[in-house]
């Protein structure tokens, strides 16, 4: 064993210790405020020209056109391996099926005689999807944002992603986008992508909601977007997994799941909670063994240095901790995983049973992988069809309805000293009786 | 006619003029930042003592205890008129029925062989409801926030509202709260209420999401709450109504609806859009007539000075404008209101037909009255049961499922250069075949 990994262990931690573990790293964006402000100002003043300048500066490439041509999108599928195309298509199908099942079933409710209320959903008119660059193309995120946007029937779906050194976009990104019916793809990365979606330029349409992950600049720019009245998907933070295991688990699988989270980045949050003391050593052994074979080992090791292994004697205390931590991803490593469902109050996405790795949800099970981090699972849901729609409430009242309910409305309006509100009912009642 | 009201009229406005009309007043909160900061600091340092100090300063009353006693809550119903109790109970029943119909119907979807995904909802653990003070008790807002919180089964529901000069809370507020099962009620108003819910004090529990309207101090404090990681219901702005009418309408009802919005405050946004040029004069006449009888006339007149009457020859252009404006409340004043439903893309709550005044939705139809203003109806829904829950996604994969889908996951993970993700599937597939 040629690694000295030493993960912090907590045996039946007290509440105070527990609270310390649930603390997430603070994401500092204030120091970036002035550079973000500069980027927004530049895009605001110079539009496309500013974006091209910033692209030359940050992405080291000069672009003639910011937009990916239609022909490049259509040809993309010829430039990726058939096997990958098939895998992306399978993922697309599963994500489509699950998100399509989230459609609002509009139910008309007669709340009282002649008073009918219901909700209808409408796609958000225009949405911007940001797909970060990096060493590998994040086509999975294209699907996770593009599929619900497609189902929601958003009228305008704009995708921004940084160009590579040749000034092009990876064909797997374009292929995934085309599956989702996205035709407006811009080669813009970082804060300038967010700024262009917020402000609008000659090429890039202004949108009303922005989605997608990114580095601290993108995060800071998304916070700036809110100031401009543009909505965003979720507050962003480093990715997280919490694996819970009882004795009916496979330490090798647990280690693999913890590592799959750890390899995302040095700031990945990795927690292992168990009520089976005896499996801890086996999990650690598997971790060491698997790490030695991992290409992104140094990244994973940095993340694991901040990891925690926590043993609870009491199942209730274990879930008290889990709900207090509110993990983005929660894996229930047990042959009887469904027994624990009722105990889960706060989590983004839950993976039940020994055959359900988090990576299934990252790519292809059908659930979304854009999820609340940093404890926001206490108050936010992950991205779903809901994120791309508004639910508008409708009501209609018949003559019988206003006769029946009207006097109560008048009474309450008078008590709240809103005579105009009472009068709006009164004029109607008078017209009926007269 | 003893009023000189002169509402701005626009006949078939050009697009540029249209864009000007859709602009909302900017809500300035930056200038309040330092006083809000002071209040948060004080509550953070001195807890309950700071709140009492601020209550003496702003509400002109010295409180021994911040919390309303159980006995006061129970006795409240004896101190309000039976007729009002009955009206509040009717409103409660309707709001309950409609919000209860919004429960998530959990559907398990087999996205592919052996891969099952679903959503389950969980109430947000602890929520804070803010009910502003003022001349009249806003019991209707207690119901609008309390009922969905009750249905969501939020474990802790905290209500804050400023005390009156006697240091007590109006019994109608307490009665409405008790109907909703709220037992923790604090006599705290303004920014100090929000600060105490965000930070937590000896008396007031810290919450994870804050709801409710308020003045600019409350709005600024809610923006501050976000910085602390506490979620809020909606960005706030002045209330709005847009009435759309064709020729099959009643000018008297339209005038009453416009006035009922205008009486909320001088900054209320009042818009009348019509495709029937000839009804404009009648609506104006009714406005003058009804204003003369309105107790809150001076408030309504101020609001109406900023109102707009807009005539469109083209129905499509009328709805293009309406969707661009994205009103909080949209009244469709027509005998054939349902014909227009398909044209509505952006609105908070819609009132269909001549017998459906906005005040029905403010109090008792069953829909929520906490709605997106300032054009946020383009991207946000109003408060609903959804606002009080999180939807957690679950997935479970069988041995057959991972054998079937696993290779695609491995393939995609490898393409994204995440070997650890691929390995999490591989270790499982190996365990099956070995």
Domain boundaries, chain B: 30-108+127-232, 237-381, 398-433
Residue B365 and residue A256: Cβ atoms within 8 Å? no
Contact in structure between B329 and B264 (CB atoms under 8 Å): no
pLDDT of chain A, 434 residues: tens digit per residue:
455 678 999 999 999 999 999 998 877 777 888 999 999 999 999 999 999 999 999 999 999 999 999 999 999 999 999 999 999 999 999 999 999 999 998 899 999 999 999 999 999 999 999 999 877 889 999 999 999 999 999 999 999 999 999 999 999 999 999 999 999 999 999 999 999 999 999 999 999 999 999 989 999 999 999 989 999 999 888 999 999 999 999 999 999 999 999 999 999 999 999 999 999 999 999 999 999 999 999 999 999 999 999 999 999 999 999 999 999 999 999 999 999 999 999 999 999 999 999 999 999 999 999 999 999 999 999 999 999 999 999 999 999 999 999 999 999 999 999 999 999 999 999 999 76
Q: Test A384 with B366 for CB contact under 8 angstroms.
A: no
Q: Around Cβ B16, how many Cβ atoms within 10 Å? A: 7
Q: Judge: B392–A260 Cβ closer than 8 Å, yes or no.
A: no
A366–B109 CB contact, under 8 Å: yes
Name the closest residue on chain A to residue B111, using Cα atoms. Answer: A94
Query: Would you name the residues of B annotated as active-site residues?
Result: 328-329
CA distance A5 to chain B (A): 17
A111, closest residue in chain B (CA to CA): B94
What residue ranges in A80-212 does DSSP mark as E strands? 109-112, 115-123, 126-130, 156-160, 184-186, 209-211
* Inter-chain touch B360–A425, beta carbons under 8 Å: yes
| Residue carrying structure tokens 């469709």 | B332
Confidence of residue B1 (pLDDT cuts 50, 70, 90): very low
State how far the Cα of B104 lies from the Cα of B127, in Å rounded to an integer. 20
C-beta contacts of A39-43 below 8 A and 24+ residues apart = A39/A191, A39/A192, A39/A195, A39/A221, A40/A191, A40/A195, A40/A198, A40/A199, A40/A221, A40/A224, A42/A192, A42/A195, A43/A192, A43/A195, A43/A196, A43/A199, A43/A201
Catalytic residue positions of A, numbered:
328-329
Q: Which residues of B touch A95 (CB under 8 A)?
A: 111
Name chain A contacts of B408, Cβ cutoff 8 Å: 86-87, 90-91, 363-364
Of residues A182, A151, A194, the one with CA closest to residue A37: A194
Task: Select from A117, A377, A113, A125 the least CA-distant residue to A237.
Answer: A377
Q: Which residues of chain A are within 8 Å of residue B111 when distances are taken between CB atoms?
A: 93-95, 97-98, 365-366
Nearest chain A residue to B124 by CA: give it. A379
Tell if the CB–CB gap between B393 and A135 is shorter than 8 Å: no
Q: List CB contacts (< 8 A) between B324 and chain A.
A: none
> In this predicted complex, what is the ipTM?
0.96
Q: How far is A291 from chain B (nearest CA, A)?
A: 9
CA angle B211, B212, B213 (to 5 degrees): 145
CA dihedral A11, A17, A18, A21 (to 10 degrees): -100
- What contacts A180, CB < 8 A, 6 or more positions away? A92, A142, A143, A146, A147, A149, A150, A157
Q: Give the integer Cα–Cα distance in Å for B149 and B238.
A: 24
- Rounded to whole angstroms, what are the CA distances from B383 to A147, A198, B230, B348, B372? 26, 25, 17, 9, 8
One-character DSSP codes across B306-358: T-EEEE-SSHHHHHHHHHHH--SEEEEESTTGGGGGGG--S-SEEEESTT--H
CATH code, A30-108+127-232: 3.40.50.1980
Topology annotation, domain A237-381: Rossmann fold (3.40.50)
Residue A419 tokens, joined:
């005579």
From chain A, the residues in CB contact with B420 under 8 A are: 256, 259-260, 262-263, 290, 294, 296, 300
Residue in chain B lying closest to A393 (CA): B349
Dist. CA A313–CA A311, nearest whole Å: 7
DSSP element (H, E) containing B409 = helix B399-415
Per-residue pLDDT at A1: 43
Does this chain's domain B30-108+127-232 share its CATH topology with B237-381? yes
Q: Which pair of tokens denotes residue B194? A: 């929000």
- Cβ pair B421:A396 closer than 8 A: no
Which of B365, B401, B431 is most worth mutating to test chain A (most A CB atoms within 10 A of its CB)?
B365
Residue of B nearest to A231 (CA): B379
CB B73 within 8 A of CB B174: yes
Using CB atoms, which residue from B256, B345, B381 is nearest to A125? B345
Rounded distance, CA B324 to CA A152, Å? 19
């Amino acid at each position: 064993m040629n690694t000295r990994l030493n993960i912090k262990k907590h045996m039946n931690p007290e509440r105070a210790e527990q609270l310390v573990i649930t603390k997430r790293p603070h994401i500092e964006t204030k120091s970036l405020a002035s550079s973000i402000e500069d980027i927004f100002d530049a895009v605001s003043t110079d539009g496309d020209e500013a974006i091209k300048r910033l692209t030359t500066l940050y992405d080291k490439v000069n672009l003639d056109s910011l937009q990916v041509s239609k022909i490049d999108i259509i040809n993309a599928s010829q430039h990726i391996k058939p096997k990958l195309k098939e895998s992306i298509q399978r993922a697309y199908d599963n994500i489509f099926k699950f998100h399509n099942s989230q459609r609002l079933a509009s139910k008309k409710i007669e709340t009282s005689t002649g008073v009918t209320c219901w909700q209808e959903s409408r796609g958000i008119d225009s949405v911007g999807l940001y797909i970060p660059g990096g060493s590998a193309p994040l086509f999975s995120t294209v699907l996770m944002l593009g599929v619900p946007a497609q189902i929601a029937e958003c009228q305008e779906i704009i995708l921004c992603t940084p160009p590579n050194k040749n000034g092009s976009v990876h064909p797997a990104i374009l292929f995934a986008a085309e599956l989702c019916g996205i035709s407006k793809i811009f080669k813009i990365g970082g804060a300038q992508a967010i700024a262009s979606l917020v402000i609008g330029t000659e090429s890039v349409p202004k949108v009303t909601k922005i989605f997608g992950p990114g580095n601290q600049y993108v995060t800071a720019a998304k916070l700036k977007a809110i100031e401009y009245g543009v909505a965003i998907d979720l507050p962003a933070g480093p990715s997280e997994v919490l694996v819970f295991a009882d004795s009916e688990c496979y330490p090798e699988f647990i280690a693999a799941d913890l590592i799959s989270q750890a390899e995302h980045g040095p700031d990945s949050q990795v927690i292992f909670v168990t009520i089976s003391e005896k499996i801890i050593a086996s999990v650690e052994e598997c971790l060491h063994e698997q790490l030695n074979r991992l290409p992104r080992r140094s990244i994973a090791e940095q993340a694991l240095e901040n990891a925690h292994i926590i043993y609870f004697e009491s199942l209730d205390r274990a879930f008290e901790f889990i709900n207090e931590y509110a993990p983005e991803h929660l894996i229930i490593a047990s042959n009887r995983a469904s027994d624990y469902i009722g105990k889960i109050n706060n989590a983004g996405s839950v993976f039940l049973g020994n055959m359900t790795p988090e990576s299934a949800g990252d790519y292809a099970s059908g659930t979304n992988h854009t999820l609340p981090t940093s404890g926001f699972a206490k108050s936010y849901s992950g991205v779903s069809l809901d994120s791309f729609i508004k639910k508008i409430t409708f009501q209609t009242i018949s003559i019988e309805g206003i006769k029946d309910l009207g006097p109560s409305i008048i009474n309450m309006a008078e008590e709240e000293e809103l005579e105009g509100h009472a009068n709006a009912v009164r004029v109607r009642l008078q017209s009926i009786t007269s």
